[in-house]
Each structure stands twice: as C-alpha cells, then as structure tokens.
C-alpha cells in the first residue's frame, strides 16, 4: 500500500517521528478558499483586539 | 521654535518623525537623519530574496515624503552625540556625516532640543569569522536583511535551482550565524519561502534543506517560546514549529553557535559542548545585531559613551539594568517611556534601545560559550514605541517639562506577526500569530506568562492574504497617503 503523503516524512528523520504532521483534511482546509476567507475575517478581528490592547 | 532630531528613518524613526511633524505643525522643526535615500518595508525582503518581488516594490524615495510632511531630511549617518553641547556650542548637538544629497563625506553638527535615537541595528556580520567584515556581508553566505542583500540572495538561489535542474543535488542551510542572534523569525520565513519556491519548481527532491539556530528549542523565537491557543489546545510554540518543519521535511540543529564560516561550510558549537560542521551550497545566516556605534561626549569633550549606551551599543533608557538572576526577572524591568536616564531630552525607539536582559532562558554551552537568542523588537513594537516617544516629546514641547510621558512597555504590549511560508494568492501560506504580551509577565499570567486568549497561531492561506495586504498597507502608511494616521502600527 502506498504511503500517505503526511506519513512519508516520519521515517526520514528521528526529529520528525515525534512531530505532529497534518493529514489530508487539515492540509486541504489550509488552502480551502471559503474556509480561509472565514479564518481571514476571524484572524483580522483577533489581531485588531491585540493591536487595540497594545496602544 | 523647538527642534526634534530623529536619528534613523526605519520603522521606529519614520513613525516617530511623521507623527511628530503632524502633531507639532509648522511651529516647530522635525529633522530626520538617515543614511539611505529609500525607505524599505523590511518584512517583504523575504519575497525579494526568493525572486517573488523586486527591490523597487519594497522601497520608495524618502525625500518627497519628507518634503510633503514638512520634515527636514538629512541623508547622513549620525556619528556622535554631544548631549551637553561643547566648549563652542551651548546647545546639545549631533555630529553627522552625509551619505548623499551631493554632500557625501561632509560632516555637520545639528543642534537639537529633543533627540530620538531610532538607528536600529548594526548588522554585525563581523562577529563571526567568515560571515563578513564589520557590518558588511561576506562572500560565503547571503542575507535578506536589506533589499540589496535580498536581491543578491535571489540571484544566488536562482543559480542553485539551475544546478538542481541539471540533476545536481543541493544543500541549503538557513538560520542564525552566531550564538547571540535575534530575528529568528526572518530566517524562519526565508527557509519556508525557499522550500516553497523549490517545491513549486518541481525540484524538492533535489534539495536537502536544513535549519540551524541558536534557539535552545524550536519555536523559542527569542521570546522563550510561547504557549498559544491552537484548535482549542494551549500548545507550546515548539510543537507548532516542529510540526511545520516535519511537514516540509526540513531538518534542524538547535542550540548552535556558528563560530566560523568558510566557502561551503559552517563550523558550530552546540550547547552540549560538542563541535560540528555542516556543508552547504546555499546559505542564508542572520548576523547578530549590535548598536550602530554612536559615540557620546560631554561638554568638556570627554567620552561618555558608556554613560549613554550599554556595552552592546544600544541606548540606555528607563529600564532596570541591575544584574539579576533569571528567576528574579520581572516584567517591570522593561522600559516604559524610553527616556534616557541621564539626559532627559533624549529617547530611544525600536531596536536602538538597550533591553534590560534577554527574554529567553539564558544558556551557555559546557565550554562557557553563551548561546541564547537576544530579544526581538519586531515591527509592531518598534512602531508603537516610536509613536509613544513622539507623543511624549510633542507634549514636552507644547505643555512644558512637566508633561506626562507616554508609555509603551513591551511587557504590556502585544505583537502580531505574520510569518510567510510561501507566496501565492491561491497556494501561499503564512503562520499568523499574535503574542500578548511580548515580554512574559508571570505575576499577571502565572501559567504561561502570557494571556492565551490573545496569544494564538494558525497557518493557512488567510495568513498569506494578511501578510500581502500588510505589505501594501504599511507602504501606503509610510508614504503618508490619505488617512495614513488611522492605520495602526
Ligand atoms: C528580513 C527581515 C524580515 C522581518 N520581518 C518582520 C515581520 O514580518 N514582522 C515584523 O514585525 N518585523 C519583522 N522584522 C523586524 C523589523 O524589520 C524590525 O523590527 C524593525 O525594522 C525595527 O525597526 P527600527 O526602526 O528599530 O530599525 P530599522 O527599521 O532597521 O531602522 C533603522 C534606521 O536607522 C538607520 N541608521 C543606521 N545607522 C544610522 C546612523 N548612524 N545614523 C542615522 N541613521 C542610522 C538605518 O539606515 C535605518 O533606516 C524583520 C526583519 C528582517 C531583517
């Protein structure tokens, strides 16, 4: 059976063995335009709060 | 009429000078002394360094902007400060040496009523043999610290990518070039942008990409790491960072003091005292930062540099510099007003102020070599501090010497950082992070030193959109286009 892309790096290096590597769904969501638009609005709002707390 | 002289036209100095000119109006004079003819939006140098932006897209001419703002612009570098004046001059003054405006090499003395030192860092390549001489980059590695450096880095990257196309495997080494570097974030962005470009070109199998850093653990970032709210968990930045590296197949060396650079090879010492070597075909190593080396003299002409500046060349301000054990460090050690304790009409902003101590846990190798990151003073804190200092000086000028000074402690201020991990409107990604406060306050937030409601991070395309929009927004603001004042620092 072919190795899943997210599992490929685990075998490469001991450092990677204990890391969290995103699977297919998490990777897809990172570039999903609709979901990322929602995140864009939320991150901006969160950043504005931090900016306003800092001035 | 009072005169405010601002040394340095970077993030902190430009913010301070433009706000001060606006608030003071024509009744007073604002002078900017800065050696470059162009302003540079430094964060986007990363994209110049991978050929995704041109130098022209990240810089613009300062002269027309200062003319519009009514600011007197001296294209020069400050050499020394006489905060008491001299035998011949009653008023305090700065000695400058022109670098342009047809007067290159000529010296002048500029009197001031108030002074802001916002000269940023000296890129101290010379601290590591082989990395460079003084503040000049050497020939073995590249840098993205200036737009010119980044353009050169992009050319060198193109060369190794051509070699990969011809079937030659290439080794890439990116990180910090000394045990006491800061600005790991810039190297972090660069390594992921390089990886992204190589992957996009279909060459990922031909490149071994390695990170080398003075951080004792991944994700320290010179802030002792941070705990952030990710997907409902409070997660250490170590887990977040190691995940990004593992996902992209980028291996890493931490706790490393690079002590020598040769053609195609770096030598380093690790915290456990062992020595190592790493070869490379392409390497970008961030140099350590120091103050720009301004001197100070009293009225009699005696050298008082040690009174005004800390040993690392950064200006002393209202911080608590008394030596203390790590366990005794407090958020209140950090400066609030950035006023020099000896000369009250002198302030420092941005990287130019001397921090009371580092933020990360101090570390030495078993051989006694100090290997720990120095504190970052990123764009947002630099801008906020510049504005606060300008505000204080405007109040001192307009309301008199008893005016209340404005405060901007890094222990009460957050920072929003968007670290690019590859450019592209549809396939780009960036880690969008906020940290609040920058300097942890364990009295206020006993768990992690920070407020995890406001310390978060996530990676995705949205982060890239934000980073790209910030590029245009901050250049727009720095050009003083309509409504520039409503754009936050
Ligand atoms: C590659 C890179 C990427 C970065 N990315 C980010 C990011 O994404 N987000 C972020 O928040 N921060 C980022 N930073 C950090 C950010 O650029 C700095 O925090 C910020 O520039 C500091 O502002 P400053 O005004 O103190 O120094 P600078 O912006 O460096 O300005 C100092 C100015 O002083 C001038 N000067 C030097 N010597 C003299 C002298 N003798 N006399 C007069 N003037 C002098 C310099 O020419 C310069 O104009 C990045 C840094 C680098 C190198």
Nearest ligand 1 atom, CA B145:
53
The pLDDT of residue A32: 95
> Which chain B residues touch A16 with a CB distance below 8 Å?
245-246, 249, 251
User: pLDDT band at residue A7, thresholds of 50, 70 and 90?
Assistant: confident
Q: Which of B160, B134, B155, B129 is nearest to B144 (CA)?
A: B155
In a domain, B475, yes or no: no
Contacts of B450 (CB under 8 A, 6+ apart): B226, B227, B435, B436, B437, B440, B441
Contacts of B60 (CB under 8 A, 6+ apart): B38, B39, B475, B478, B479
pLDDT over 90 at B23, yes or no: yes
Contacts of B107 (CB under 8 A, 6+ apart): B79, B95, B96, B97, B98
Q: Is B340 exposed, middle or buried (0-12, 13-18, 19+ CB in 10 A)?
A: buried
In this complex, do A22 and B243 lie within 8 Å of one another by their Cβ atoms?
A: yes
In this complex, do B426 and A33 lie within 8 Å of one another by their Cβ atoms?
A: yes
3-class SS at A36? helix
pLDDT over 80 at B343, yes or no: yes
pLDDT over 80 at B289, yes or no: yes
Question: Average pLDDT, stretch B43-54?
Answer: 97
In a domain, B23, yes or no: yes
pTM for this entry: 0.96
Contacts of B343 (CB under 8 A, 6+ apart): B83, B84, B92, B308
3-class SS at B319? coil
The pLDDT of residue B53: 97
In this complex, do A47 and B434 lie within 8 Å of one another by their Cβ atoms?
A: yes
In this complex, do A50 and B436 lie within 8 Å of one another by their Cβ atoms?
A: yes
The complex's ipTM works out to 0.93
Distance CA B236, CA B248 (A): 19
- The H or E element that residue B409 is part of is none
The tens digit of pLDDT for each residue in B186-216 reads 999 999 999 999 999 999 999 999 999 999 9
User: pLDDT band at residue B226, thresholds of 50, 70 and 90?
Assistant: very high
3-class SS at A9? helix
Task: Enumerate the β-bridge partners of residue B426.
Answer: none
CA torsion sign, A5 to A11 to A13 to A17? positive
Tell me the C-alpha to C-alpha distance, in Å, between residue B150 and each of A40, B190, B284, B373: 28, 10, 10, 23
Residue A10: closest C-alpha in chain B: B246
The pLDDT of residue B307: 98
pLDDT over 90 at A5, yes or no: no
In this complex, do A40 and B249 lie within 8 Å of one another by their Cβ atoms?
A: no
Distance CA B79, CA B76 (A): 9
Phi-psi region of B42 (alpha: psi -120 to 50; beta: other; left: phi over 0): alpha
Do B112 and B244 contact (CB within 8 A), yes or no? no
The pLDDT of residue B232: 82
Question: Average pLDDT, stretch B246-250?
Answer: 96
Q: Is B92 exposed, middle or buried (0-12, 13-18, 19+ CB in 10 A)?
A: buried
> Which chain A residues touch B465 with a CB distance below 8 Å?
36, 40
In a domain, B220, yes or no: no
Q: Which of B321, B359, B329, B366 is nearest to B215 (CA)?
A: B359
pLDDT over 90 at B386, yes or no: yes
- In a mutational test of the B interface, the residue from A44, A54, A55 whose CB has the highest number of chain B CBs within 10 Å is A54
Secondary structure E strands in B41-88: 59-61, 72-82
Distance B350 CA to ligand 1 centre (A): 8
**Residues having CB within 6 Å of any atom of ligand 1:** B 7-13, 33-36, 42-43, 45-46, 77-78, 118-120, 144-145, 183, 186, 292, 350-352, 377-380, 382, 417
In a domain, B155, yes or no: no
Percentage, residues of chain B above pLDDT 90: 95
Q: Which of A46, A48, A52 sits opposite B456 (nearest CB)?
A: A46
Give the residue, B447 or B405, on which the prediction is more confident. B405
The pLDDT of residue A14: 87
Do B175 and B212 contact (CB within 8 A), yes or no? yes
DSSP sequence for B146-176: SHHHHHHHHHHHHHHHHHHHTT--EEEEEEE
Distance CA A23, CA A21 (A): 6
The pLDDT of residue B291: 97
- The H or E element that residue B282 is part of is strand B282-286
In a domain, B103, yes or no: yes
pLDDT over 90 at B317, yes or no: yes
Do B13 and B381 contact (CB within 8 A), yes or no? no
CB atoms within 10 A of CB B95: 18
pLDDT over 80 at B233, yes or no: yes
Q: Which of A15, A16, A39 sits opposite B458 (nearest CB)?
A: A39
CA–CA min distance A21, chain B (Å): 5
The pLDDT of residue B296: 98
Print the domain residue range for B85: 3-123+290-399
Percentage, residues of chain B above pLDDT 70: 100
Measured at the CA of B226, the angle between CA B224 and CA B229, to 5 degrees, comes to 175
pLDDT over 90 at B229, yes or no: no
Residue B387: closest C-alpha in chain A: A55
The tens digit of pLDDT for each residue in B136-164 reads 999 999 999 999 999 999 999 999 999 99
pLDDT over 80 at A55, yes or no: no
In a domain, B268, yes or no: no
In a domain, B317, yes or no: yes
Q: Which of B155, B243, B161 is nearest to B195 (CA)?
A: B161
Among B47, B379, B438, B469, residue to substitute to test ligand 1 (most atoms within 8 Å of Cβ)? B379
CA–CA min distance B303, chain A (Å): 37
CATH of the domain at B69: 3.50.50.100
- Pick from A30-34, B229-233, B446-450: least confident: B229-233
Distance B15 CA to ligand 1 centre (A): 12
The pLDDT of residue B290: 96
In a domain, B257, yes or no: no
Q: Which of B376, B451, B434 is nearest to B410 (CA)?
A: B376
Domains contained in chain B, number: 1
- In a mutational test of the A interface, the residue from B413, B416, B453, B468 whose CB has the highest number of chain A CBs within 10 Å is B416
């Amino acid at each position: 059976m072919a190795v899943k892309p997210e599992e490929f790096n685990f075998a490469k290096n001991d450092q990677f063995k204990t890391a969290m590597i995103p699977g297919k769904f998490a990777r897809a969501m990172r570039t999903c335009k609709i979901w990322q638009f929602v995140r864009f609005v939320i991150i901006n709002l969160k950043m504005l709060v931090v900016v306003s707390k800092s001035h | 009429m009072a005169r405010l002289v601002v040394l340095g036209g970077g993030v902190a100095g430009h913010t301070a000078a433009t706000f001060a000119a606006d608030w003071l109006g024509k009744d007073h004079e604002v002078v900017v002394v800065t050696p470059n003819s162009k302003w540079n939006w430094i964060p986007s140098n990363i994209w110049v360094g991978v050929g995704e932006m041109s130098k022209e897209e990240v810089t613009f001419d300062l002269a027309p902007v200062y003319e519009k703002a009514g600011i007197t612009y001296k294209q020069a570098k400050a050499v020394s400060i006489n905060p008491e004046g001299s035998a011949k001059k009653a008023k305090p003054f700065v000695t400058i040496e022109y670098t342009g405006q047809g007067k290159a090499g000529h010296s002048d003395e500029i009197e001031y009523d108030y002074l802001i030192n916002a000269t940023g860092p000296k890129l101290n390549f010379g601290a590591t043999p082989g990395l460079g001489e003084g503040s000049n980059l050497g020939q073995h590695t590249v840098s993205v610290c200036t737009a010119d450096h980044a353009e050169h880095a992009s050319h060198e990257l193109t060369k190794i990518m051509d070699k990969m196309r011809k079937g030659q495997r290439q080794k890439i080494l990116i990180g910090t070039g000394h045990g006491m570097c800061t600005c790991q974030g810039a190297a972090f962005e660069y390594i992921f942008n390089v990886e992204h470009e190589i992957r996009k070109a279909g060459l990922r199998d031909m490149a071994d990409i390695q990170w080398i850093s003075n951080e004792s653990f991944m994700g320290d970032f010179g802030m002792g790491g941070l705990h952030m709210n990710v997907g409902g968990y409070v997660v250490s930045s170590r887990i977040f960072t190691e995940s990004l590296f593992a996902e992209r197949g980028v291996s890493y060396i931490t706790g490393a003091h690079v002590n020598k650079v040769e053609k195609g090879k770096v030598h380093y010492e690790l915290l456990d005292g062992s020595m190592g070597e790493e070869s490379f075909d392409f390497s970008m190593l961030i140099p350590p930062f120091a103050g720009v080396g301004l001197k100070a003299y009293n009225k009699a002409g005696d050298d008082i540099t040690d009174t005004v500046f800390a040993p690392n060349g950064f200006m002393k301000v209202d911080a608590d510099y008394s030596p203390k054990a790590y366990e005794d460090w407090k958020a209140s050690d950090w400066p609030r007003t950035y006023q020099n304790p000896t000369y009250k009409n002198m302030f420092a902003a941005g990287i130019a102020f001397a921090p009371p101590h580092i933020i990360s846990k101090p570390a030495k190798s078993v051989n006694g070599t100090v290997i720990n990151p120095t504190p970052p003073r990123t764009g947002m804190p630099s801008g906020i501090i510049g504005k606060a200092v300008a505000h204080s000086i405007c109040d001192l000028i307009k309301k008199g010497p008893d005016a209340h000074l404005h405060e901007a402690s890094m222990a009460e201020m957050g920072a929003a950082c968007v670290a690019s991990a590859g450019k592209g409107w549809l396939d780009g990604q960036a880690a969008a992070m906020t940290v609040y406060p920058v300097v942890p306050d364990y009295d206020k937030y006993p768990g992690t030193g920070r407020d995890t409601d406001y310390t978060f991070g996530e990676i995705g395309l949205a982060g890239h959109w934000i980073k790209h929009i910030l590029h245009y927004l901050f250049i727009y603001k720095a050009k003083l286009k309509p409504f520039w004042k409503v754009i936050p620092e």
